[in-house]
């Protein structure tokens, strides 16, 4: 068999990875706001949070900061960029959105300022596509306005999240309700007092359906009786309050039957759509963090002296700076191409590209941030620079939405299938 590389395909003729005319002013506005307003505000927010009596609350000072940013962004029309198809949004392509996501990644409050945070963007898409009018009235409007937050409740402590068919949170029909029992963990955003919606992946087994149709998704109000917040999972010792990654217990949690989306067994069908863009957004934000780390590294190397010379002249520092730049550029381009593949509308074609960047981007960002920390001396590991927090955050991406190994396997299988009909 004579396989030919993918790029011979006709659709590649138009592969445009640059910024479009319409994107340019948006990008300029977002980049400027991140640099001049959100980065300083993020630092102020963290200071305010450090003073909060309960880390799991938003003090008035904190709310003032974040709501102030959101109000400004909305006022300037920098809002809900992720609304790719809707008439209510800019209708940006994934490539265009990627450029904005990179900028948002540079500040902790970046994505939320523009109402483009995970998991809300994916959750809003789910509501838009699969929710009833009642669901939309209850949750979608408020989410679109940035008034509430939401969580996506999928991972379980007792099962390898690399294989989602193992999910076992029980969901049994009882009259007009479903009854949920089980545990979930790493539920990001569930610590946020503003979180008013859980979208929960549950197990609704039936012998009549195949292996990938044993699960469903259901909308749950976090205040429903029977839900216990067991604890906050820590990321390298940090509970990430008030956002939080919670460990939850569901005990006889009763949910209206109409909250089950699409129908029993269609859980994976729903999640299919959300993972692709979400992964690319994570990657692009990670690239933004790498870019910011490189900037900090270079500035440090110019300002700090040792042995009578600026750091950049010492050791392998020219090479370190250059290698970081080379890595970032390659990753950004791969991410843009993955975004472009998604824009072509065939998720099966785009799949391996998403797996590629999902593997490559966090690893690259970790390397760049690590070098930046090293250039900053002991301070680089501390609260005096954003680097340590960036590192621990990006490290979670190598586990979230599928660990590296699973994505590598996807990429390899696609390669092998070019040359064989066998199941690889």
**Stretch 346-405 residues interacting with its own copies (CB under 8 A):** 352, 356, 359-360, 373-374, 377-384, 388-389, 391-392, 395-396, 398-400, 403-405
Give the DSSP H/E element, type plus range, for residue 357: helix 347-375
How many Å is the maximal CA-CA distance in the chain? 78
161 lies in the site for its own copies, by CB under 8 A: yes
* Residue 113 to residue 110: CA distance in whole angstroms: 5
* Residue 248 to residue 224: CA distance in whole angstroms: 12
In degrees rounded to 5, what are phi and psi of residue 133? Answer: -60, -40
* Residue 289 to residue 366: CA distance in whole angstroms: 9
The 231-260 contact track toward its own copies, x by CB under 8 A, reads --xxxxxx----------------------
Among residues 91, 272, 326, 346, the one that binds its own copies under rule CB under 8 A: 326
Q: Which among 94, 128, 125 is positioned nearest to 283, based on CA atoms?
A: 94
Among residues 162, 170, 181, 349, the one that binds its own copies under rule CB under 8 A: 162
132 lies in the site for its own copies, by CB under 8 A: no
Among residues 120, 192, 264, 291, the one that binds its own copies under rule CB under 8 A: 291
Tally the residues of the chain. Answer: 424
| # residues contacting its own copies (CB under 8 A) | 109
Pick 146 or 352: Cβ nearer its own copies = 352
Among residues 202, 337, 342, 369, the one that binds its own copies under rule CB under 8 A: 337
344 lies in the site for its own copies, by CB under 8 A: no
* Residue 60 to residue 409: CA distance in whole angstroms: 47
Only one of the segments 11-19, 217-225, 251-259, 270-278 lies at the binding site for its own copies (rule: CB under 8 A); that segment is 11-19
Among residues 77, 85, 88, 419, the one that binds its own copies under rule CB under 8 A: 419
By CB under 8 A, the residues from 303 to 322 that bind its own copies are 304-307, 311-312, 314-319, 321-322
By CB under 8 A, the residues from 175 to 194 that bind its own copies are 185-186
Q: How far is CA 84 from the centre of its chain?
A: 16
24 lies in the site for its own copies, by CB under 8 A: yes
51 lies in the site for its own copies, by CB under 8 A: no
20 lies in the site for its own copies, by CB under 8 A: yes
* Residue 185 to residue 203: CA distance in whole angstroms: 16
In degrees rounded to 5, what are phi and psi of residue 235? Answer: -105, 105
Long-range contacts, 19-25 (Cβ 8 Å, 24+):
19/96, 19/99, 20/93, 20/96, 22/90, 22/96, 23/92, 23/96, 23/99, 23/100
Pick 44 or 241: Cβ nearer its own copies = 241
By CB under 8 A, the residues from 81 to 110 that bind its own copies are 99
133 lies in the site for its own copies, by CB under 8 A: no
302 lies in the site for its own copies, by CB under 8 A: yes
Pick 135 or 292: Cβ nearer its own copies = 292
Pick 91 or 318: Cβ nearer its own copies = 318
The terminus-to-terminus CA distance of the chain in angstroms comes to: 16
The tokens 């402590």 sit on which residue?
Answer: 157
Among residues 35, 168, 249, 254, the one that binds its own copies under rule CB under 8 A: 35
Question: Which residues contact residue 335 at a Cβ distance below 8 angstroms, ignoring those fewer than 6 apart?
Answer: 98, 280, 283, 284, 287, 357, 361
């Amino acid at each position: 068999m004579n396989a030919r590389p993918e790029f011979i395909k006709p659709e590649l003729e138009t592969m445009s990875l640059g910024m479009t005319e319409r994107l340019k002013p948006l990008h300029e506005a977002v980049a400027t706001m991140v640099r001049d307003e959100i980065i300083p505000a993020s630092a102020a927010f963290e200071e305010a949070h450090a003073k909060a009596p309960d880390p799991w609350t938003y003090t008035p000072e904190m709310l003032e900061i974040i709501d102030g940013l959101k109000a400004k962004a909305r006022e300037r029309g920098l809002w809900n960029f992720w609304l790719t198809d809707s008439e209510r949004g800019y209708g940006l392509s994934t490539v265009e959105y990627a450029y904005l996501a990179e900028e948002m990644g540079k500040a902790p409050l970046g994505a939320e300022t523009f109402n483009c945070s995970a998991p809300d963007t994916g959750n809003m898409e789910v509501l838009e596509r699969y929710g009833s009018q009642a669901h939309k009235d209850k949750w979608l409007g408020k989410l679109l306005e940035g008034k509430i937050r939401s969580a996506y409740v999928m991972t379980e402590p007792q099962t390898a999240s690399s294989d989602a068919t193992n999910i076992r949170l029980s969901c049994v029909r009882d009259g007009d309700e479903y009854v949920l029992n089980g545990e979930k963990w790493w539920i990001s955003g569930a610590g946020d007092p503003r979180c008013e919606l859980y979208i929960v992946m549950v197990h609704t087994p039936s012998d009549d359906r195949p292996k990938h149709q044993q699960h469903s998704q259901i909308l749950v109000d976090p205040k429903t009786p029977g839900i216990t917040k067991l604890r906050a999972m820590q990321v390298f010792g940090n509970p990430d309050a008030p956002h939080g990654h919670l460990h939850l217990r569901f005990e006889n949690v009763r949910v209206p039957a109409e909250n089950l989306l699409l129908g029993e067994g269609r859980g994976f069908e729903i999640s299919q759509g959300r993972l692709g863009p979400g992964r690319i957004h994570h990657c692009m934000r990670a690239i933004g963090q790498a870019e910011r780390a490189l900037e900090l590294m270079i500035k440090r190397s110019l300002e700090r002296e040792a042995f009578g010379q600026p750091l950049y002249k010492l050791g392998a520092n020219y090479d370190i700076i250059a290698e970081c730049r080379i890595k970032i550029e390659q990753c950004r381009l791969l991410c843009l191409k993955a975004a472009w593949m998604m824009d072509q509308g065939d998720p099966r074609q785009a799949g391996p590209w998403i797996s590629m960047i999902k593997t490559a981007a966090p690893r690259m960002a970790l390397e760049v941030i690590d070098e930046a920390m090293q250039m900053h001396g002991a301070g680089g590991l501390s609260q005096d620079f954003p680097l340590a927090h960036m590192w621990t955050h990006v490290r979670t991406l190598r586990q979230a939405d599928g660990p590296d190994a699973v994505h590598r396997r996807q990429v390899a299988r696609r390669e092998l299938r070019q040359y064989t009909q066998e199941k690889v």
